[in-house]
Amino acid sequence: MISEIFLLQNPWRDQEDYSFNLRTREIFRTLIDNMSNELILGLVGSRQVGKSSLLWLLIEDLLKSGISDKDIFYFNLDDMQLHSLFSAIPEFIQFLGNDDRRKYVFIDEIQRLNSPGLFLKEVFDLKRNIKTIYSGSSQLEIKAKTKEHLVGRSRVFTINRLSFNEYVDFAGPITKQDALNNILLFGSYPAIAKEPQSIDKKLRIKDIYQAYVQKDLVDFINLKDIDIYNKFLIKIAMQSGDLLNVNSISNSMRVSRLKIEEFLNILEQTFICKRIYPFHKNYSKEITKTPKLYFLDLGLRNFILNNFNDLSLRTDKGSLFENFCLTEILSEDYYSMKKVNFWRTINKTEIDFIVHSEGKINAIEIKWSNSKRPRSFSSIESLYPEINTELVTTAKYLM
């Protein structure tokens, strides 16, 4: 049975000139650059962002480079019948073959295993000529199940939803204006980019929300009261881009602060939201603790609020664009080396993003259309003359 399932999941083995028919991603070249080292390669990110497609693109690249299909092994662990193959290392190695040729092992949705970290460690420590590449959709489950096993043995990449340029490619032919409008309203999951009609985009978002956003939380912490969770999501969606007052949310919902923090942690670790924290050096007038929260997909945020109104009718388009710009910053950070903060004083002088990268610090202010230099630049420059300033408007993406 395992051999039959394996062949179904590896169609290039018995179909000559198999067509993958997949669009590439901007991170793909970076992944290729990491295929020749000995490290385990990990791809993590929200469900439906294209991790499986990237695994298949890597397989396609190997085949084009002359690697035999007999040395490439793909396992999608959503099929529970494959799990028995991963329960005993000797049997797994025997399945791969005992010759000395380099083997490429792709494991999709590795968090389905009970002990994925231990499995990967044991295979790695055998020092056989095996390159392992895995994907996982829940950082919570992966961290809980790998712990210290992969320290020094792996390199992990976060796969984001589509960047603006990728969206234009996936949704094409499309104007840059329409692409930006679509992202701000419907988000940038690959499947949503490919849907030409607004109603189909909304239905896709609904499916993703119900199948994954709710499911991850319910499954992982065994949540019983879905109504509390849904109310919590509405609260934070309304605060997206603003200072996150956990005590206020806790009091208004009559839910413990600890539970709210737990919800937030789940959303971050399942790649739904991200908190960013203040940049400060203990000047008396700087905010030092309270974070801001952003959604990593605006389609999910708008679905939670049941608001897909046209941008011309919305009062929050500036906030949506600010949120979008954060996702663009993150999409360019393949090795997760950038640190993103914001800057705010007690008198509410604020700069949206402070980005630390390669020894430089950039202060980035986001405006929908106003290209006038913000006064906040002078304020931060007086305290931090080493900081570079940048104003970003929609014109950057429409040129």
pLDDT of residue 219: 67
- Tell me the fold of 2-158: Rossmann fold (3.40.50)
Q: In terms of pLDDT, which residue wins out, 277 or 224?
A: 277
The Cα 153–Cα 125 span in angstroms is 9
Please say if the pLDDT value at position 233 is more than 90: yes
Q: What pLDDT does 213 receive?
A: 74
Q: Where in the chain is the domain with CATH 1.10.10.10?
A: 164-398
Q: pLDDT band for position 142 (50/70/90)? A: low
Of the candidates 272, 44, 275, 40, the one whose C-alpha atom is nearest the C-alpha of residue 139 is 44
pLDDT band at 229 (very low <50, low <70, confident <90, very high): confident
In the prediction, which pLDDT does 288 show?
Answer: 81
User: CB under 8 Å to 49, separation ≥6 — which residues?
Assistant: 159, 160, 161, 189, 190, 271
48: left (phi over 0), alpha (psi -120 to 50) or beta: left
Would you say residue 236 has pLDDT above 90? yes
Residue 146 predicted with pLDDT over 90: no
pLDDT over 90 for what percent of the chain?
A: 78
Q: What is the rounded average pLDDT of the residues 377-385?
A: 94
**What's this model's pTM, rounded to 2 decimal places?**
0.93
The full DSSP string for 278-318 is E-----TTB--S--EEEES-HHHHHHHTT----GGG-S-HH
Cα separation of 75 and 77, whole Å?
6
Total residue count of the chain as it appears in this document: 399
The reported pLDDT for the residue numbered 26 is: 97
Structure token pair of residue 2? 């395992």
Residue-by-residue DSSP string for 212-280: IIHHHHHHHH----HHHHHHHHHHHHHTTTSB--HHHHHHHHT--HHHHHHHHHHHHHTTSEEEEEE--
- The per-residue pLDDT for 152 is 85
Confidence at residue 149, expressed as pLDDT on a 0 to 100 scale? 75
Q: Residue 202, Cα to own-chain centre: how many angstroms?
A: 20
Q: What is the per-residue pLDDT for 140?
A: 61
User: Which of 378, 383, 317, 377 minimizes the C-alpha distance to 353?
Assistant: 377
Mean pLDDT of 105-115: 92
Distance between CA atoms of residues 185 and 299, nearest Å:
6
* Structure tokens, 116: 């994925």
Q: What is the pLDDT of residue 324?
A: 98
The overall average pLDDT reported for the chain is 92
Give the model confidence (pLDDT) of 282-321 as tens digits.
677 777 889 999 999 999 999 999 999 999 999 999 999 9
The stretch 162-171 carries a mean pLDDT of 98
pLDDT at 137 over 90: no
Mean pLDDT of 182-190: 98
Residue range 375-385: average pLDDT? 94
Per residue in 57-86, pLDDT (tens digit) is 999 999 999 999 999 999 999 999 999 999
Cα–Cα distance, 392 to 276 (Å, whole number): 19
Domain at 164-398, CATH class:
mainly alpha
The pLDDT score that the predictor gives to residue 98 is 84
The percent of residues above 70 in pLDDT, for the chain, comes to 95
| pLDDT, position 141 | 62
The torsion defined by the Cα of 152, 154, 160 and 164, in degrees rounded to 10, comes to: 90
Q: What mean pLDDT comes out for the span 86-101?
A: 93
Mean pLDDT calculated for residue range 185-203? 97
pLDDT at 205 (0 to 100): 96
For residue 145, the model assigns a pLDDT of: 63
DSSP tag of 345: B
- 292: closest CA among 266, 331, 322? 322
d(CA 124, CA 43): 17
CATH 3.40.50.300 residue ranges for the chain: 2-158
pLDDT score of 217: 63
Q: Is the distance from CB of 397 to CB of 164 less than 8 angstroms?
A: yes
User: Pick from 38, 78, 72, 79: which is nearest to 57 by CA?
Assistant: 72
Mean of pLDDT values over 348-352? 94
Question: pLDDT grade, residue 235 (50/70/90)?
Answer: very high
